[in-house]
Structure 1
């Protein structure tokens, strides 16, 4: 035991006493030559069938008969400072209350200040075996209760997981259904614009056609969302192919000398930013097809790739390029304004390169994850 100086005379064990409070073995701490009980755990009090306040502060010899072997051994441990133990014989009569126990001196400033007693057995071995059997039986019953409770908890957990998955499925189905209906409504709007184009004077037809192209681009997005399993993100490769197909059908028409190719890594974009993304590609692709190839022959490339935590969108052509004085603008003032707006909604930056005779390339770099403050519609 420790030989450190005693700072709390009321308990030589100090903070260790709390460790014995719930011990199944009876433990007590005695202080001084009179063996005053300074600490007794619950098991010790039950052993003597007394409340704790009936034990604490009283001499230990009042709990035992004067002839009990424990008292003589206790005096010896206190005098000599040497630990000791005792086990009664199996057939001892009368059987002592403390059948088997150990005693340790509690040292302070190099002298014995008290004694700690740990009761190992409180009856003959057959009684101990009987108590052990009872404890094992109770433990087995308790184990069955725990297993039953665990199985019930597992059933409840599986039920909750199943319900959560069903809610996710329902939410996805609802999102896909909404996207499908939005796509149908946008297609109706595009058809109405076609009707207006037929009745519109030639000078204003191009404006209606540009509006129709943008509506169709958004409709393509919602078509992809309605077909996806998640409904929260859009595959950029598939989206670019849809836009390329629409440009080929609506803008190129019979101009077979111009081709549109798609180069895309496996990237996803959230459905909110997919709208300005698609409109941006549609705007730049349409400008390239209509202005870069006066001879009717050339290639437009739509590409996306990941660079660190950003996505790089490239719209490039191998056409005539732009005149030097036009390096800072996009063909058509309205188109330039739209491009600027779409790039801003993506929280991106745009860089244009190229020269007359070598084509034009637009590179837009925007973050993989959206900026909550710049999400379109918020």
Structure 2
């Protein structure tokens, strides 16, 4: 027994609908004459009414059979209406209960509603009592139907959300695994480039291989961050650039001695593809400054990453000998055709910006200003 409202009528072969099943009502009252009157009058209106003469009998019937709604009198010998109501409400998926009493007592109505009654009807042997009872039954059954439809819809929403979360978790796991494998593969390539650089006596070849290894490192670090982070859609750009510069600082101490690299960065998150572009640009510009800014081998290279509203201002500067690369007239854009410059310009195009040289008397400052999010 689930106490649900009748199902909609199924269409017949001629296209019409079968008449709806009558509401099945249990009327619990110790007044047999009134019970028969209710049974007869509601029967004429299409209800199927079953009678019970006590709270105990009514409770037993509700537990054993299916009823769409129960009418429950308050004053009965033995178990009164409130006690019976609470016992009915304790059953699994109980039918709605309409409380019926002849007492004009508002406190009794409030007590019944607090105990779980769907409605309250004052019992009077008049024509409008049957009509009020009928209306209360229909409303109570409809209320149950709507509540259960709402619960079913919420259950479906929860199930859909659980399915989505499971798919999202699976996707995140696959992406982390993919980034892990890509990072490992790039690490192997970096190791091979290092081995090749160590095996050659040609300074130009060694420099080219070291440069290639640094460029691969800029890409590999992004993938390492993606598979070790809970966030797979964006990269913490400030932390990523900081790690790249730490690696370059180690190389500077080993090969150049007194070059110091510093970073001044705001917390910024961007998508992985654009992070790779910024990382490659930073690697090219910092290595270029390390090599050419200070012929004496000592000096500072300063990197800044600042958020300006929805844009990012990225600079690499030094106080050294100055950049020999020519600038395009009137724009300050770098016009060199060297490999490093071509890489910087290609990555800048990916960011939707153009690298420029800030005018100054000493040293070099390369600046890029680009959108925080990729512009559609």
TM-score range (shorter-chain normalised) is 0.5 to 0.7
1:210 corresponds to 2:224 = no
Aligned to 1:94: none
Q: Indicate the SS of the match to 1:361.
A: strand
In the alignment, structure 2 segments of 5+ residues that lack a partner are: 1-123
CA contact (8 A) 1:322 1:354 kept: no
Aligned to 2:235: 234
Q: What do the CA deviations read for 1:214-266 (whole angstroms, capped 9, x no partner)?
A: 01111111111112212121111111111111111234426452221111112
The match for 1:341 among 336, 343, 346 is 346
1:281-300 matches, cutoff 5 A: 281-300=282-301
Aligned to 1:185: 185
Aligned to 2:28: none
CA contact (8 A) 1:235 1:267 kept: yes
What is the CA-CA distance between 1:323 and the residue it aligns to? 5.3
Cα distance in 2, alignment partners of residues 254 and 340 from structure 1: 27
Q: Indicate the SS of the match to 1:299.
A: strand
Q: 1:313 to 1:136 in 2, by over 3 A?
A: same
1:370 corresponds to 2:374 = yes
Q: What do the CA deviations read for 1:14-61 (whole angstroms, capped 9, x no partner)?
A: xxxxxxxxxxxxxxxxxxxxxxxxxxxxxxxxxxxxxxxxxxxxxxxx
In the alignment, structure 1 segments of 5+ residues that lack a partner are: 1-123, 373-378
CA contact (8 A) 1:258 1:297 kept: yes
What is the CA-CA distance between 1:371 and the residue it aligns to? 3.7
CA contact (8 A) 1:316 1:362 kept: yes
Q: What do the CA deviations read for 1:56-81 (whole angstroms, capped 9, x no partner)?
A: xxxxxxxxxxxxxxxxxxxxxxxxxx
Cα distance in 1, alignment partners of residues 185 and 324 from structure 2: 41
Aligned to 1:150: 150
**Count of residues in Structure 1 that have an aligned counterpart in Structure 2:** 248
Bigger strand fraction? 1
CA contact (8 A) 2:235 2:270 kept: yes
1:298-313 matches, cutoff 5 A: 298-313=299-314
TM-score, normalization by structure 1: 0.61
1:122-133 matches, cutoff 5 A: 126-133=126-133
Q: What do the CA deviations read for 1:118-151 (whole angstroms, capped 9, x no partner)?
A: xxxxxx9932232122111221122112212222
Q: Indicate the SS of the match to 1:253.
A: helix
TM-align CA RMSD: 2.3
Structure of higher CA gyration radius: 1
CA contact (8 A) 2:261 2:302 kept: yes
